[in-house]
Structure 1
Amino acid sequence: MSKQTEFTFDQPTTDADLLRSLLKRADKVLIKKLSNNDRNWARKKLDAEGNPVPGGKTMNNQAGPYIPAETRKSDFFLPLQLLERTDGKSDEIWHREISTVWPQNEGERRTSNLRWYTSKNTETHLTGLPKSVFKDLLPASFFIMGRLTGNDGYIYECLTIDSGSEEVQLLATLFDIRADFVAGMFEPATVQAEERERVLDFADQVIAAWLAGTIEDFEANSASMPKTLELAQMAQAAFLKTHGLEKIDPFALDSPGDVLREISRSIEWELFKEFQRRERSVQLVRAVLGDKPRKFTPSDMMRALLDEFPRIDTILLSAAQQRKSRAGYSYEHHIEAMLTGGSIPFQKQVIIEAKKRPDFILPSLKFMNSGTDKASTGLILSAKTTLRERWKQVEREMGGHRRLFLTTVDENIAGNAIEDMASFGVHLVIPESLKESKLSEYKGYSNVLGFGEFCEINVRPNLASWNK
């Protein structure tokens, strides 16, 4: 068990602060990507006009998120106890009361309840939770339970991380969470140790270069971040090698949208993290120690750290910004590779009107404006890794008569936003696995297509006329 823990939330803190604090104190952490049902129990049911139904009814009766069966079977919780039934039914119910604390809800403490109905499913209901920290979450948000030891045994500190927040990127970085992640248990100390080992493996090379007086050349040759296009091509090459393919042809793939997601959100993400780890490590060494080898006393080292703190802070902030800015341009490169792989004609970043420069026009602006019978088959394809409110910028590219398709690998788009897009004639093109996923809200909307559907319905029938 971990050491005794006191809980105080007197000062306002950000979700990032709360997350870092929890990871320092918890011996084990459960992280779960919330399904729609895991959120809807806290959301009010609406009528046809979008107003809350009288009586405060919620969208389902689940009363809290499910806890994975693997977690129930592990030692994360104390063993569940058999509940004595008085209703005459024979199906077993196992339960355990647990103490939970909610720093995002003013540090509220609750007695929550784990309950496993053996007749229903293998997962366990977690009830007795504050609705306030769940009700406004976007799809595919995260629930985190950190196990700590208090005066009366285990206490579980709980957080929610909205999938549209900046903190979700921090969570993904800290725990190496990939796009297909659903749930997992972690030991923060082990995760930190593994990251430290990855850094130390590279540190020997950095130290050797610094002692040799060649660290500047070492950074240029071995620790510089590739340009966005180069990194995208590296990810594509890795995918092709793994699957024994020569090109990324959407017509030859079962689920081309899922392939786009795998390349951009998994393969390239891993490459990016390794390059960034190397790049920032060398930058920090050069900032503190300089480029020329010399002897340092402990006093010298302390003074160098203090003197260069603003520069160190800038390097770390730059790393966070770099993670945000690279994704959009990278996704465009993967779309381009897929269009090229399928021999689909296109123009990229063409100015169609003042301040209107869509990512792709299929097959070309000249064809779309030709006035022929086939001109209407042309379309605009915009690529956004994350949408939020940015889809409204894309809507302006339609120009009143052009067909607009918006492709994304973002799983956190709320249903009302999808409806808004439909009202403007915007079609969403997404990974196939997200269309029916219980983690997203794409299911059931006529303006949502898998990438394969998009290619078969809107591209393949027109290739002959486009290629003329």
Structure 2
Amino acid sequence: MSRGLLSEHFEGVCAKKLSAVEADSGRSNQHEFNGTNALKKLLTEKEPLTFAARFLYLDDEIEPLEAIDDLTWYDARRAHPTRSEYRLYYPSNAVSEAATEGDTLILARQRDGQMLCLVAKDGSTIERQLIWLFALPDNMGKQFCFEELIETERSDFATRFILDELGIEIEAEQNDLDLILARFGMRFPKTREFSSFARENAPKLGDFDNVDQALIAWMDREESLFRQLEKHIVAERLRKGFVDGNNVDVDGFVAFSLSVQNRRKARVGYAFENHLEQIFIDLKIPYSRGAITERREKPDFIFPSIEQYRRPEFPNEKLFMLGVKSTCKDRWRQVLTEAERIEEKHLITLEPGISEHQTHQMQAANLQLVVPTSIQQSYLPLQRDWLFSVSDFLSLLSSSDGEGISHGKNKTLKLL
């Protein structure tokens, strides 16, 4: 099994659903998992072994909880001549305390010998993403299953997205650094300028099989170029240090670190809008970007224009809006109030594997999710039947009567 560059980071994974006894410290103080065959495949039968481990508790509704601790793998019957009883001991920490029955536990053995211990909230989007990422069974039970990562492929967008959420960065090659520095020097350009630069150094829209492919390729290209520039600028700043005489500028370092993180987050969203806008321009699709509607709301894109939107006589059914969010979480609800004349809202995202619960909520709110084709593989089959691709959305815009997509895509998900 392989997912992008996973095999460069991990040797294998074990996963299971947590039982009540394992999750409830009030019912058991053992803090141990039985050494099943799946765990033996992951950890080998050598013992005792101690692994430095990073623990993460992941839930869509709260910031991740993190702890650094050790895991201990040992044979409780080491002295017995014929019997063995392997166990994996884990300490009590913020992550183990937050875990509840039914949450998904993933133990990932990293190439550097450390362990990544992930607990994902049952039914959450991050759980869905991790199940897809590691190719785990959808019907996981309370016994460990094992997946070996044996191949290396080029990482795709969805894989990198999830790894980034876990704090795992894929090192950017510095192949284009001279080209970047020749244009921008030691500065971060405005996002529109950098998006245009990325497209200059990527294939044109007509060179791709479809617009979905072009959009992801342009996003990939900009991400690669930006990370190269960022690494160079940040490295230079760190070389200068944060020491002034005998004083260490802790506040300055913290502010600099936050600026790096905030720039990354903001830039992705703007880049996403910029590349979508270029697609509309290339295909001569009329639009307005960031125009003001009721209560000073600002939908990302209005079609065919804000002028037509403001004309009461223009038919509502010929008006469309597209919200743009690189990640959804609960922020998808923001688009629901952004254009009152448009009953069905459309929202495009780069987020892989959004939970069924959340996509059902979207449908109930009359919001149609648009996801580039290559990312749709991370969704469940029933969800994929409902999702729009970028091509689907453009077909909707270009249909002469505005009634819908010509190929008759099923837009209805059965509500729970």
> TM-score per shorter chain, which class?
0.5 to 0.7
Per-residue deviation, 1:263: 1.9
- SS for the counterpart of 2:354 is coil
Aligned letter for 2:388?
L
RMSD (CA atoms):
4.8
Query: Which residue of structure 1 lines up, in the alignment, with residue 189 of structure 2?
Result: 226
What amino acid sits opposite 2:399 in the alignment? P
- Kindly indicate whether the alpha-carbon contact (under 8 Å) linking 1:407 and 1:430 is maintained by their aligned counterparts in 2: yes
Larger proportion of helix: 1
Instruction: Give the conservation status (yes or no) of the 8 Å contact 2:308–2:314.
Output: no
**Which residue of 318, 325, 329 corresponds with 1:377?**
318
Distance 1:135 1:441 in 2: 20
- TM-aligned CA distance change 1:43 to 1:448, over 3 Å: farther
- Are residue 360 (structure 1) and residue 280 (structure 2) matched? no
Is the 2:293–2:339 contact (alpha carbons within 8 Å) kept by the matching residues of 1?
no
Shift of 1:349: 0.9
Residue 451 in 1 paired to residue 382 in 2?
no
Q: Does residue 1:157 correspond to 2:115, yes or no?
A: yes
The whole-number CA distance in structure 2 between the counterparts of 1:233 and 1:455 is 22
CA shift, 1:434, in A, is 2.5
Q: Check conservation: 1:31, 1:145, Cα contact below 8 A.
A: yes
Mapped to 2, the partners of 1:177 and 1:110 lie a distance apart of 32
SS at match of 1:234: helix
The equivalent of 2:287 in structure 1 is 346
Structure 1 335/133 Cα, relative in aligned 2: closer, same or farther at 3 Å?
farther
Q: Which amino acid aligns with 2:200?
A: A
Asked if the contact 1:345–1:364 (Cα under 8 Å) also holds between the matched residues in 2, the reply is yes
> 421-430 or 365-374: which moved more?
365-374
Which of the residues 232, 253, 278 maps onto 1:337? 278
Which of 42, 48, 56 is equivalent to 2:17?
Answer: 42
TM-score by length of 1: 0.53
2:209 to 251, 254, 268: 254
Corresponding residue for residue 399 of structure 2: 461
Is 2:229 the counterpart of 1:275?
yes
User: What are the within-5 Å matches in structure 2 for residues 125-164 of structure 1?
Assistant: 132=99, 136=103, 144-146=108-110, 157-160=115-118
Aligned partners of 2:382 and 2:89: how far apart in 1?
28
Distance 1:431 1:309, change over 3 A: same
Change in Cα spacing, 1:182 to 1:313, as seen in structure 2 (3 Å) is closer
Shift of 1:237: 1.8
Partner of 1:416: 357
Structure 2 counterpart of 1:393, which letter?
Answer: Q
Measure, in 1, the Cα distance between the counterparts of 2:273 and 2:234: 26
Say whether 1:307 aligns with 2:248. yes
Partner Cα separation in structure 2 for residue 398 and residue 442 of structure 1: 31
C-alpha deviation, 1:286, in angstroms? 5.0
Of residues 331, 345, 348 in structure 2, which corresponds to 1:407? 348
Aligned residues: 309
In structure 1, runs of 5+ residues without a counterpart are 1-27, 45-63, 79-94, 113-126, 149-154, 169-175, 184-190, 203-217, 289-301
| 1:110–1:396 CA distance, 2 compared to 1 (3 A) | farther
Is the contact made by 1:379 and 1:404 (CA closer than 8 Å) also made in structure 2?
yes
Deviation for aligned residue 1:281: 3.0
Query: What letter corresponds to residue 144 of structure 1 in structure 2?
Result: A
Q: Per-residue deviation at 1:427?
A: 0.4
| Structure 1 pair 420–219 and aligned structure 2 pair: CA distance change class (3 A) | same
Match of 2:10 among 18, 26, 30: 30
Q: SS of the residue aligned with 1:224?
A: coil
Q: Does 1:179 align with 2:179?
A: no
Write out per-residue CA displacement over residues 312-332 of structure 1, whole angstroms, 9 at most, x where no aligned residue: 332223212211221111111
CA contact (8 A) 1:381 1:405 kept: yes
CA distance in 1, matches of 2:188, 2:221: 16
Mapped partners of 1:227, 1:342: distance in 2 = 25
Offset of residue 452 of structure 1? 1.2
* Contact 2:212 2:391 (C-alpha < 8 Å) held by counterparts: yes
1:395 to 2:336 alignment: yes
CA distance in 2, matches of 1:464, 1:142: 46
What code does the residue aligned with 1:238 have?
A: N
Please give the alpha-carbon distance, in whole angstroms, between the structure 1 residues aligned to 2:106 and 2:198. 27
Instruction: Tell me, yes or no, if the aligned pair for 2:319 and 2:342 is still in contact at 8 Å.
Output: no
Offset of residue 278 of structure 1: 2.3
- Cα pair 2:303 2:321 within 8 Å, conserved: yes
| Deviation at residue 108 of structure 1 after TM alignment | 5.5
Counterpart-to-counterpart distance in 1, 2:354 and 2:290: 25
Q: Contact (CA 8 Å) 2:352, 2:375: kept in 1 or not? A: yes
3-state SS in 2 of match to 1:159: strand
- Structure 1 residue 432, shift from structure 2 partner: 0.7
Q: 1:441 to 1:258 in 2, by over 3 A?
A: farther
Look up the match of 2:27: none
Shift of 1:283: 3.2
Q: Which has the larger radius of gyration?
A: 1
Q: Equivalent residue for 2:407?
A: none
Equivalent position amino acid for 1:343 in 2: K
Residues 352, 239 of structure 1: CA spacing in aligned structure 2 closer, same or farther, 3 A cutoff?
Answer: same
SS in 2 for 1:354: helix
State the alpha-carbon separation in 1 of the partners of residues 182 and 238 from structure 2.
11
Measure the CA separation in 2 of the matches of 1:371 and 1:447. 31
Q: Secondary structure at the match of 1:444?
A: helix
TM-score when normalising by structure 2: 0.59
State percent identity of aligned pairs: 18
